[in-house]
Chains A and B, each alone.
Chain A
């Protein structure tokens, strides 16, 4: 097709040039010169999985291979992938620049004797020296398994989960802190998670935007266009297909910029907006009536219990799973109250002649108690939420709400997309619950254009519901094991309640996660526990300070292992964290890193990790892909320095903790094989090799997976590996087929405790018993007013130099992981004002006499924290709001590119725990600015 014809071109020009060829440059040949001396080797392509954000895109790495030597040349999206459709974002493109970042830590480092944590005084060490040091500290301080806390970041959560759990079980510690769990995936998603039973819109659920016709985006940007590639490609396709987008965001984000309508509501007012929508949808009958009657808990009859709704039949034993025998609905045909099964996908299944009422007749009673449907309750809850009421709080025109309701109510398919990263305000759990209810009302659950479940969830649900229906789950132990293996919330609650949080699980020697001990501590102070605080840091400070106990014995954390995360900045409240990590009670801090991050400075030992391009992996599902597919990693980089994979470190630390016996890889194998369904014998064999240092854990996982998965697919491990190496992703089933065969709730229950889409949440109701009644976990919906600071209630309008605060992610960066990537640093520095400063509306700037790039001091009116920064004046933000980017603010001087740039959220957002999920309440305050 194309022909440059360089040669003939040059020939002709040299003839024309004649003797002048003599003067041709002395420099080496250029890019398009045929005689360029190419480096040795040939080009090969290795599939891998991008690790820069939790989107986990399929990639292919163009690699120069010369014998054993491998050097990656370019990363592209895997064209065969239906997840990210051959595309990747700027961060994915920049991967090689992280692998070869000149700042990379390439040798173990031990803190110099006599220096303080945080000072960055380290000496180079060998792995043996580092391990000796760690072992010595463990022995000297007699560190027990539960005295170790593992901090794991997004990378660990999305890719090394298995290794991390194997590690914890092998030593018997329940103490996992997952940054994405606390601040993102799990966090305040609770409200929506409980509705469909799985973590929505993060890794388990994807919105089918290709087919959506109306999409309401609530406070989300990076998870869509700004950018999560798998969603961005769908968003774009949807837009090209005519999807109408309405975006709620106090600033004009990338996603809002692409929306048909941008509604710049006041920060923290999503709940009133959603409630007003709900009211309009219900009043106008703009909902999928049939769906709600059949597949949801909307028709469940509820009574009022202490001001909170409770379903008839709800299991009220706080120590049981919230499974129930029966629920009750009002049948419009027989005009009677009838029982429906406790766990099913369809209210009509056992009784097809039933017509469960969405609204109960006035004055309906059951055994003398006033009852109404959940839907009645919902309507009552939103009845006061008129557009005018909400418009006033949200500070937007009422017609914006009416128009949104009309679009959502009358056009199909419609869906709501709440963001991922949240925990900004106390009301967010109920706000997300409202969003999820709206999504269910417009029929957006597991339907074309709606929220689609992952194939893994379907498979798990298939197994679980079979077991459930077989009646085998009637003893508590069987139920616990079954739920532990179930998908979504069902499974998570099972795993956590049963294993990590109960304090009864033998593997953890009777110790629960330290958060559980912390709840007891709170109780003494008259505070409630935090029901959804799964894998969070709630209580870490107290545990380090020695304030906690369990069963009468002190419960202290003495050893922190920090794997690929940066609590100082990611978990907010910089000073609080510095205090913990410099506490002498903490005898050992080990950080596994690739870069001299801020937290690395607080380590006693820094262990250098391998990056994703340097590793193998087990065989994984294709992330949040709605098609059923498997994939794995192939390394494309030769050994860099003296690094070892974090997986290998898990085995080493496990052995170091266990002493002479060596880590208990038997228990680890059991957990791994139960999680994955891999062959137990093979898993044991491979993990044994890994624990004995004979092969890296990631390679052991690979070999185990190949062995077991290939069997299922009727091929040899070699064949499977060959296919995966060639294609990167092996597709087994299309989403259309899966939806037809295993639609949830159409064919299977959803992973909630009622098996239905829950307008009324069984698990929130359960929390009322376990932790006491609280509006924040109202099982249906209630209005939670936001208090920005004392005296600043929901209708507060800041004046003078006071502003609301909002933050969000930059398309070219990921949390604090990529700021030091030389390429990405250049991309964001190109528009540095926008990225490193505070966005302020021109009118507010004029009022305060501020010009572009004027320096300011920003003060948090609640916590008193102060930082220095500058202003970027833009029309893209509300007048009453100060907005900033969340991906900067690192200060370790060793970070050549990132150090000292941008705003450090950890220094303006205080450490606080929200009531339901131990999230951060990361914007619930106001700020005052002063020109400096």
Chain B
């Protein structure tokens, strides 16, 4: 049992989006989708603040916050959304109705539908290695399958800026836990009560 969490150091994020590319290739997420903002398990958003020349440009990486009290979980009618014993919020594709309720309930915009069209594209790009075979709602899994192999999540492993720090929040020696315990890293939108396990240094 672990309590996995992540720290996003916004100050360190270079905006390179290697994380998005890495995630999409490991998890075969619908990078091909061009509706709205596309379908990504992690995004890096650009923020413009101020006026030239006193203007700030920030890159803001986001993923599923792996909430302790996840609204996506409370609304899910079938139990498709569940929390594993390491505190990771996951979706059982077999049980997912695709009602979209969790998409609406998630206050962090972490979920998207993996639709029929996406299944076709998955097969088109990945051939027999395609990993998605049924429609479902999708989101970041902290790369549980990589964790099982003893590897860091795909986005973390490649994060060039050392902006993503992954670890067991219960392990006081982990860098992530230290950043959280020192109070340097704080969750986003705490007032919504979801209790994220992804923390931000801004």
Would A and B touch once assembled, by the CB under 8 A criterion?
A: yes
Which A residues have a C-beta under 8 Å from some C-beta of B? Answer: 1-5, 9-10, 13, 24-25, 27-33, 36, 39, 64, 71, 73-77, 86-94, 96-97, 100, 102, 225-227, 229, 232-233, 235-237, 239-240, 252, 254, 256-258, 262, 264, 811-812, 822-824, 826-827, 829-831, 834, 841-843, 874-879
Q: B37 CB to closest chain A CB, in angstroms?
A: 6
A-facing residues in B29-69 (Cβ within 8 Å): 31-34, 37-38, 46, 48, 50-53, 55-59
Q: Are B79 and A13 in contact (CB under 8 A)?
A: yes
Q: Are B79 and A90 in contact (CB under 8 A)?
A: no
B74 on the A face (CB < 8 A): no
Contact of A252 among B57, B124, B127, B157 (CB under 8 A): B57
Q: Closest B-chain residue to A86, C-beta based?
A: B157
28 contacts between A and B (CB under 8 A): A1-B147, A3-B84, A4-B84, A4-B90, A4-B148, A32-B90, A32-B93, A32-B141, A32-B144, A39-B128, A39-B129, A87-B160, A90-B16, A90-B22, A91-B21, A92-B18, A100-B125, A225-B161, A232-B14, A232-B161, A235-B14, A236-B160, A252-B57, A822-B125, A830-B38, A841-B52, A875-B50, A876-B48
A27 contacts across to B, CB distance below 8 A? 133-135
Q: Are B52 and A876 in contact (CB under 8 A)?
A: yes
Q: A9-B82, A24-B94 are in contact. Are A236 and B161 (CB under 8 A)?
A: yes
B160 contacts across to A, CB distance below 8 A? 87-89, 227, 229, 232-233, 236
Beta-carbon contacts of B137-153 to A below 8 Å, as 1s and 0s?
00001001101101000
Q: Which of A76, A100, A879 has the most CB of B within 10 A?
A: A76
Q: A5-B84, A226-B14, A257-B58 are in contact. Are A31 and B93 (CB under 8 A)?
A: yes
The 6 closest A-B pairs by CB, nearest first: A30-B93, A27-B134, A93-B21, A28-B133, A257-B57, A90-B21
Given A87-B157, A875-B50, A877-B52, 7 more contacts at CB 8 Å? A29-B134, A36-B133, A93-B25, A232-B16, A823-B24, A876-B55, A879-B52
Contact of B85 among A3, A30, A64, A842 (CB under 8 A): A3
Q: A811-B16, A827-B21 are in contact. Are A88 and B125 (CB under 8 A)?
A: no
Q: A13-B95, A39-B129, A830-B38 are in contact. Are A240 and B12 (CB under 8 A)?
A: yes
Q: A8 CB to closest chain B CB, in angstroms?
A: 11
Q: Are A827 and B17 in contact (CB under 8 A)?
A: yes
Q: A2-B148, A87-B160, A240-B162 are in contact. Are A94 and B55 (CB under 8 A)?
A: no
B2 on the A face (CB < 8 A): yes
Q: B121 CB to closest chain A CB, in angstroms?
A: 9
Q: Are A876 and B57 in contact (CB under 8 A)?
A: yes
Q: A39-B129, A875-B55 are in contact. Are A29 and B94 (CB under 8 A)?
A: yes
Q: Closest A-chain residue to B56, C-beta based?
A: A257
Complex Cα distance, B127 from A297, in Å, reads 62
Q: A254-B16, A875-B50 are in contact. Are A822 and B55 (CB under 8 A)?
A: no
Q: Which of A1, A97, A824, A879 has the most CB of B within 10 A?
A: A1
Q: B83 CB to closest chain A CB, in angstroms?
A: 11
Complex Cα distance, B46 from A387, in Å, reads 34
B136 on the A face (CB < 8 A): yes
A102 contacts across to B, CB distance below 8 A? 124
Contact of A30 among B32, B58, B82, B134 (CB under 8 A): B134
Q: Closest B-chain residue to A2, C-beta based?
A: B147
Contact of B162 among A28, A30, A237, A264 (CB under 8 A): A237
Complex Cα distance, B91 from A9, in Å, reads 12
Complex Cα distance, B20 from A100, in Å, reads 19
A879 contacts across to B, CB distance below 8 A? 52
Q: Are B79 and A252 in contact (CB under 8 A)?
A: no
Contact of A811 among B14, B34, B134 (CB under 8 A): B14
Q: Are A236 and B26 in contact (CB under 8 A)?
A: no
Q: Are A2 and B2 in contact (CB under 8 A)?
A: yes
Q: Are B26 and A226 in contact (CB under 8 A)?
A: no
Q: Closest B-chain residue to A254, C-beta based?
A: B15
Q: B139 CB to closest chain A CB, in angstroms?
A: 12
Q: Are B125 and A90 in contact (CB under 8 A)?
A: no
Contact of A225 among B14, B52, B79 (CB under 8 A): B14
Q: Are B134 and A76 in contact (CB under 8 A)?
A: no
Complex Cα distance, B124 from A240, in Å, reads 42
Q: Are B51 and A93 in contact (CB under 8 A)?
A: no
Contact of B18 among A64, A87, A235, A834 (CB under 8 A): A87
B128 contacts across to A, CB distance below 8 A? 39
Q: Are A239 and B12 in contact (CB under 8 A)?
A: yes
Q: A13-B95, A827-B20 are in contact. Are A73 and B134 (CB under 8 A)?
A: no
Q: Closest A-chain residue to B130, C-beta based?
A: A39
Q: Closest A-chain residue to B161, C-beta based?
A: A236
Q: A221 CB to closest chain B CB, in angstroms?
A: 10
Complex Cα distance, B15 from A76, in Å, reads 18
Q: Closest A-chain residue to B136, C-beta based?
A: A30
Q: Are B25 and A28 in contact (CB under 8 A)?
A: no
Q: A87-B159, A90-B20 are in contact. Are A30 and B148 (CB under 8 A)?
A: no
Q: B177 CB to closest chain A CB, in angstroms?
A: 15
Q: Are A811 and B133 in contact (CB under 8 A)?
A: no
A830 contacts across to B, CB distance below 8 A? 37-38
Contact of B17 among A90, A96, A225 (CB under 8 A): A90
Q: Closest A-chain residue to B124, C-beta based?
A: A102
B131 on the A face (CB < 8 A): yes
A-facing residues in B75-119 (Cβ within 8 Å): 79, 82, 84-86, 90, 92-95
Q: A345 CB to closest chain B CB, in angstroms?
A: 36
Q: A809 CB to closest chain B CB, in angstroms?
A: 12
Complex Cα distance, B84 from A28, in Å, reads 23
Q: Closest B-chain residue to A39, C-beta based?
A: B128
Contact of B92 among A32, A262, A811 (CB under 8 A): A32
Q: Are A96 and B16 in contact (CB under 8 A)?
A: no
Complex Cα distance, B54 from A876, in Å, reads 10
Q: Are A74 and B26 in contact (CB under 8 A)?
A: yes
Complex Cα distance, B60 from A58, in Å, reads 27
Complex Cα distance, B20 from A86, in Å, reads 17
Q: A24-B94, A27-B133 are in contact. Are A254 and B14 (CB under 8 A)?
A: yes
Q: A573 CB to closest chain B CB, in angstroms?
A: 31
Q: Are B94 and A826 in contact (CB under 8 A)?
A: no
Complex Cα distance, B17 from A660, in Å, reads 53
Q: Are B162 and A76 in contact (CB under 8 A)?
A: no
Q: Are B18 and A88 in contact (CB under 8 A)?
A: yes
Q: Are A73 and B17 in contact (CB under 8 A)?
A: no
A826 contacts across to B, CB distance below 8 A? 31-34, 38
A225 contacts across to B, CB distance below 8 A? 14-16, 161
B178 on the A face (CB < 8 A): no
Q: Closest A-chain residue to B33, C-beta based?
A: A826
B32 contacts across to A, CB distance below 8 A? 822, 826
Q: Which of A36, A74, A76, A90 has the most CB of B within 10 A?
A: A90
B159 contacts across to A, CB distance below 8 A? 87
Complex Cα distance, B132 from A96, in Å, reads 18
B158 on the A face (CB < 8 A): yes
Complex Cα distance, B196 from A832, in Å, reads 31
Q: Are A226 and B16 in contact (CB under 8 A)?
A: yes
Q: A298 CB to closest chain B CB, in angstroms?
A: 35
B58 contacts across to A, CB distance below 8 A? 257
A76 contacts across to B, CB distance below 8 A? 22, 154, 157-158
Q: Are A93 and B129 in contact (CB under 8 A)?
A: no
Q: Are A87 and B2 in contact (CB under 8 A)?
A: no
